[in-house]
Amino acid sequence: MSENQPRRIVVGVSGGIAAYKACHLVRDLKEAGDDVRVVPTPSALNFVGAATFEALSGHPVSTTVFDAVDEVQHVRVGQEADAVVIAPATADVMARLVAGRADDLLTATVLVATCPVIVVPAMHTEMWWNPATQANVATLRERGVIVLEPAHGRLTGKDTGPGRLPEPDQIAELVRAVLDGADLTPDWRGRKVLITAGGTQENLDPVRFLGNRSSGRQGFALAEIAAHRGAEVTIVAGATDDLPTPSGARIHRVTSAREMAGVVEKRAPEQDVIIMAAAVADFRPVSEAGAKMKKGQDDAALMTVELVENPDILATTVEQRRQGAVPVGTTIVGFAAETGDADTSALEFAQAKLRRKGCDLLMANEVGEGKVFGQARNQGWLLGADGSVEEVPDGSKHVVAARILAGVDKLRN
């Protein structure tokens, strides 16, 4: 397959109310240039009509193995696919996949497919936690099927809990990451992971603050990949773009560096892996005015802002580990966004930073000229405390996240 050739993605849709979100998923995948074919189960068509899926995908839609028999459709769709994603996947369709049934076109397609199969469950919390469903999920995972974690939130009725379909753009991003080689093996089960993300804001007064351009995308992508690999993920997030909460992760919102430091210090002792992707302000105003400062009245304070240093959360966590407050087996990963100068390259600055901070791994990248901040892609180097340098090629932030977690795997194994 040449690099620019559209990839063939089969979107399976089963019969749950979240079937309407599959329309957005199809559109998102199509807009990125992929060739999308929708295979609904017969009951999915109670929620969304075949005409909608045909119009969005540009392909005919059938649910049964008895359509287009002359083209051997029941085998061909699965054989030709580069990925199959079932979103939403009901408890029923997962049970049928486990049993190896082929009683409609979707299950027949999965039975034939040798490409990655990604199952995105959506159902009521009780159905999700039912031992039958959990056993089916475990079986599918054992067989190499990627079963994503459901999102937590409002379900069809008034109830909330795990069982929501993740947002279509989150699913599309993960499907593309899998196609680009991201490892979603669910072998991080039982691992606790803490991730800092976004930018801190340091208040000057109730309306003004010192902040930065961090979008939180890289931290959220790390959280998503870790959660889908089975880890128990906690995100400590400062200001971020309006991003959906990664499925399966818990999030603590903070504003300032000191607040972030407080949460991290409390949570660090129970973690197996700590990844500091946040852009933490190094300094904060020496004092915060209780009332809005006014021009003409508070000019001196507004024109010259006196700053004091913030705690270095990464260096403090490394120091806590040295002193035994954080287990010695905890892996600590830092980030560095660098620019080079006439004498020193961005990579050399990053290597010096790794030594200074004392973390185990450092994901370094070069910033400036529209690179990295707020962008959907990233690239750089993954540096090890042992002096190793692994180039991380340009990829989506999800692909880069998967590379970083693979780096953690290498270190821990």
Q: From residue 189 to residue 208, what is the string marking binding to ligand CTP with x (rule CB under 6 A)?
A: -------x------------
What CA–CA distance (Å, rounded) separates 51 from 42?
14
Query: What residues act catalytically?
Result: 212
Interface pick for ligand CTP out of 278, 318, 361, 404 (rule CB under 6 A): 278
CA distance 172 to 165: 12
77-98: b or e for each residue (b if 16 or more CB lie within 10 Å)?
bbeebbbbbbbbbbbbbbebbb
- For residues 139 to 168, the per-residue mask of contacts with ligand CTP, x marking binding by CB under 6 A and - elsewhere, is ------------------------------
Residue from the set 67, 180, 270, 282 that interacts with ligand CTP by CB under 6 A: 282
For 385-398, the DSSP string reads: TTS-EEEEEEEEHH
Q: Which residue from 280, 332, 399, 404 is in contact with ligand CTP, where contact means CB under 6 A? A: 280
CB 62 within 8 A of CB 105: yes
Q: Is 314 in the site for ligand CTP (CB under 6 A)?
A: yes
- Within 209-268, the residues that bind ligand CTP by CB under 6 A are 257
Q: What is the distance between the alpha carbons of residues 55 and 145, in angstroms, rounded to a whole number?
A: 29
Does 410 show up as a binding residue in the annotation? no
Q: Does 53 bind ligand CTP (CB under 6 A)?
A: no
Shortest reach from residue 221's CB to ligand CTP, in Å: 15
Measured from the CB of residue 371, what is the shortest distance to ligand CTP in angstroms? 15
User: Quick one: 96 or 284, whose CB is closer to ligand CTP?
Assistant: 284
| Count of Cβ atoms closer than 10 Å to residue 401 Cβ | 28
**Part in contact with ligand CTP (CB under 6 A); list of ranges 112-120, 173-181, 273-281, 320-328:** 273-281
The sign of the dihedral angle between the CA atoms of 243, 249, 255, 260 is negative
Q: Does 312 bind ligand CTP (CB under 6 A)?
A: yes
Residues binding ligand CTP: number (CB under 6 A): 14
- The residue (of 108 and 314) whose beta carbon lies closer to ligand CTP is 314
Question: Cβ distance 13 to 39 under 8 Å?
Answer: yes
Nearer to ligand CTP, 243 or 336 (CB): 336
Sign of CA dihedral 393, 399, 405, 406: negative
Report the 3 state secondary structure along 266-326: HHHHHCCEEEECCECCCEEECCCCCCCCCCCCCHHHHHCCCEEECCCHHHHHHHHHHHCCC
E strands along 65-154, which residues? 83-89, 117-121, 146-147, 151-154
For the bound state, the minimum distance from the C-beta of residue 276 to ligand CTP, rounded and expressed in Å, comes to 4
Q: Minimum distance from CB of 192 to ligand CTP (Å)? A: 19
Question: Binding site residues for CTP, as ranges?
Answer: 282, 292, 311-314, 335, 353, 357
Where does this chain bind ligand CTP (CB under 6 A)? 196, 257, 276, 278, 280, 282, 310, 312-314, 334-337
